[in-house]
Amino acid sequence: ETWKDQGVPLEIVLKGMDRAFSKAKRKISSLAYCANAIAAVTEEQKELRTEEPSPPEFSAEEVQRYLDRLADEVRGLTKHFPDFTEQIERIGDTIRGQDTSNLRSGETALSALEEKLIAIMRIAAEDEALIEVQREVEGSLAPFRSKMTVEQLAMLEQQLSKRKLMERYGVPRLSLFYLI
Q: Which of 42-56, 81-95, 118-132, 139-153 comes out lowest in average pLDDT? A: 42-56
Tell me what pLDDT residue 56 has: 67
Q: 139 or 46: whose pLDDT is higher?
A: 139
Confidence of residue 50 (pLDDT cuts 50, 70, 90): low
Q: What is the pLDDT of residues 4-21, one digit of tens each?
A: 887 888 888 888 888 887
- Contacts by residues 38-41 (CB-CB < 8 Å, ≥ 24 positions apart): 38/3, 38/8, 38/12, 38/13, 40/16, 41/12, 41/15, 41/16
Is the pLDDT at 105 greater than 80? The verdict is: yes
Confidence of residue 54 (pLDDT cuts 50, 70, 90): low
Average pLDDT over residues 21-32: 75
Confidence of residue 48 (pLDDT cuts 50, 70, 90): low
Q: Which of 6-10, 45-49, 111-115, 166-170 comes out lowest in average pLDDT? A: 45-49
Is the pLDDT at 144 greater than 70? The verdict is: yes
Q: Which residues contact 11 (CB under 8 A, 6 or more apart)?
A: none
Q: 4 or 122: whose pLDDT is higher?
A: 122
Tell me what pLDDT residue 15 has: 86
Q: Which residues contact 120 (CB under 8 A, 6 or more apart)?
A: 81, 84, 87, 88, 91
